Each structure stands twice: as structure tokens, then as C-alpha cells.
Amino acid sequence: MDHVLQLKNVSKTFGEVAALHQVNFEVGTNEIVGLLGDNGAGKSTLVKIVTGYHQPDPGGEIYWKGERVAHLSVAKARDLGIEVVYQERALADQQSLWRNIFMGREISNRWGILDVNGMRSETDKLMNTAMGFTSAAVTSESTVKTFSGGERQGVAITRALYFKAELIVLDEPTMGLSISETKKCLDFVEGIKKAGKSAIFIDHNIFHVYPIADRIVVLDRGTVAGQFMKAQLTLEELISRLQRVAQTGVLDTSPQAMA
């Protein structure tokens, strides 16, 4: 399988604390990887390495589409097409939808004068296609604070896809969402798959990750405790295994244990 992103032997220590230890992690082309783990398992450290906020300790290697990336900075990650969707920090609440879609990447001429009509009509197009907002009451001029939690995640994901993100990192996108809103949000994550792009879906709610992930990676205390193709096991098996991880720190991935 082609990999869009590969981490090899990545460790990260903060002073005395090893947040990640010898982690091997990869995301395939057009694959949705669910990243599960308790608080403190190293999920956010891993994400920050992927997005260039942290550099791995010497010895760790990062590959993008098979090519080694020597120094992955935030700017470099953006250029490669790695985009993070944070729940709280994704949108500017009091601004219109079109201003949020084009946030920081406004269409303008060389004098910096905005093409407002162009951005509005692009946003209208996206609303009818990618976002599926069909209600006449929502326009490209609607402020996003009136949107529900799931819709807001949808705006952020749509924005990432519109600007040709290759790998979208979703940091706990369903946190605090109601059941129906979670469903909406997960539909948008499935849209990433349909668009032929890849995603890392971080959550500690296994019920949200399981239905849409192709592969589930379990982090525990800074190491990869195990990973499964979803096809390999049922949700019930996964849950009982995760309980064992919590107790022992070891995830039994042997075929015997699977059976």
C-alpha cells in the first residue's frame, strides 16, 4: 500500500518525560486512520509532530509520499498538504461563512483587493455540494456562530478539502457534540475518504472512530500498543482488548487472541 505519511522510530522526550517512544506510524493513501488512546497516551504529541509543531528526537524519521522530510516545520507541513481541524480553533464565529472558508487564503488581486463576489459564489457552490446545506435560510453571508457543532466541523473539513489538503488531522472532532451532530460530523469525515484524501481521526471515543476508520491504532503510554484493520475484528472485541490495555499496557494482537 502507498503511504502518504510514515513515521519511523519517532521518539519525543520533554526533559525527563518520554511522551513518545520508538513509534512507527503510517497513513496510507486514501486511508482513514483512527488514533485511539487514553489521556496522556501521546496522541497530541504525535499530532504535533505530524503538523510540524514539535520536532522528533534525533533518530526519528518522517517520510511524505515515500520521500524523507528532513525538517518538518509548520509551514512545510501546510505546503505539503497537511491540515489540522481543531474543534475550538477552526472558525471565526462572528464572521460570515465565506470569510471562514477563505480564512487566510482570500481571493484577491495584487493590490490586496478582495474578490468578494467570487468568494461568495464559490462558497455557495460548496454549500450545495460538499456541505449539503440546502436550507434557503443559510447563505454564504450567514455568520458561523449560528451553525451547529457538526456543521461547523463540516465547514472546517470542507475548507481543508477545497484547498487541496492531502492529509487532514481531526483532533477530537466529536467532542461535546450531540448524537445527531456527531453523525453529521462523521459524514463529513467520510467525505474525506470519498474525495480520495487521507485522515487521522483522533478521539477517545471508540464508538465514533470504529464506524469510519479503515485502521485503528492504539497508543498507550507513548508507544503503539497495537493496530487493527477494522475488517479484522468487531467492535466488541476491540472494546474488551482496550480494557486489557488499560490494565496491562499490552495489547494482544496475535491471531490466537483474535480468534
Partner 1 sequence: MNTVIEAQRPKSPARAGNAVSRWARRNGLQIGTVGVALFIWLLFLIGAPRTFMSFDIYNALLITTPFFGIVAIPLTLVIITGEIDLSFGSLMAWGMTGFSVTYTLTQNFWLGFVACLLFGLLAGLINGLIVVKIGVPSLVATIGTQFFWAGAVLVVTNAQGIGLTFTQGSLLHAGLVGQLGGVLPMQFIWMILIAIVVWFLLNRTRFGAHVYLTGDNLDSARLMGVDVDRIKITVFAIVGLAAAFAGFVQSIQLLFFWPTMGQGNFLNTLAAVFLGGTSVFGGTGTIFGTFVASFIINAINPGIVAVGLTQYYTQVIYGFIIVISVALQALLRKRLT
Nearer to partner 1 (CB atom), residue 91 or residue 189: 91
Helix H or strand E encompassing 49: helix 43-50
Rounded to an integer, what distance in angstroms lies between the CA atom of residue 236 and that of residue 239? Answer: 5
Q: Which amino acid is at 234?
A: T
Q: Residue 15, interface with partner 1 (CB under 8 A)?
A: no
Half-sphere exposure of 114 (CA within 13 A, CB side): 11
Reduce the DSSP state of residue 102 to 3 states and report it: coil
Q: Residue 139, interface with partner 1 (CB under 8 A)?
A: yes
Rounded to an integer, what distance in angstroms lies between the CA atom of residue 154 and that of residue 160? Answer: 10
Nearer to partner 1 (CB atom), residue 199 or residue 216: 199
Rounded to an integer, what distance in angstroms lies between the CA atom of residue 155 and that of residue 142? Answer: 12
Judged by CB under 8 A, the residue of 104, 134, 231, 256 near partner 1 is: 104
Nearer to partner 1 (CB atom), residue 27 or residue 169: 169
Quick one: which segment of 26-34, 61-69, 140-148, 245-253 binds partner 1 (CB under 8 A)?
A: 140-148
Q: Which amino acid is at 249?
A: G
Q: Residue 135, interface with partner 1 (CB under 8 A)?
A: yes
Least spacing, CB of residue 89 vs partner 1, in Å? 4
Q: Residue 29, interface with partner 1 (CB under 8 A)?
A: no
DSSP letter for each residue of 131-180:
I----TT--TTSBGGGS-HHHHHHHHHHHHHHTT-SEEEEESTTTT--HH
Q: Residue 125, interface with partner 1 (CB under 8 A)?
A: no
Quick one: which segment of 22-30, 63-71, 83-91, 164-172 binds partner 1 (CB under 8 A)?
A: 83-91
| Residue carrying the nine cell digits 460548496 | 126
If you ran DSSP here, which 8-state letter would residue 71 be given? S
Q: Residue 138, interface with partner 1 (CB under 8 A)?
A: yes
Nearer to partner 1 (CB atom), residue 47 or residue 245: 47
Cβ–Cβ < 8 Å for 119, 107: yes
Least spacing, CB of residue 81 vs partner 1, in Å? 14
Quick one: which segment of 10-18, 85-93, 206-214, 239-247 binds partner 1 (CB under 8 A)?
A: 85-93
Half-sphere exposure of 67 (CA within 13 A, CB side): 4
* Contacts to partner 1 by CB under 8 A: 78, 84, 86, 88-95, 99, 102-106, 108, 111-114, 116, 135, 137-139, 141-143, 145-146, 148
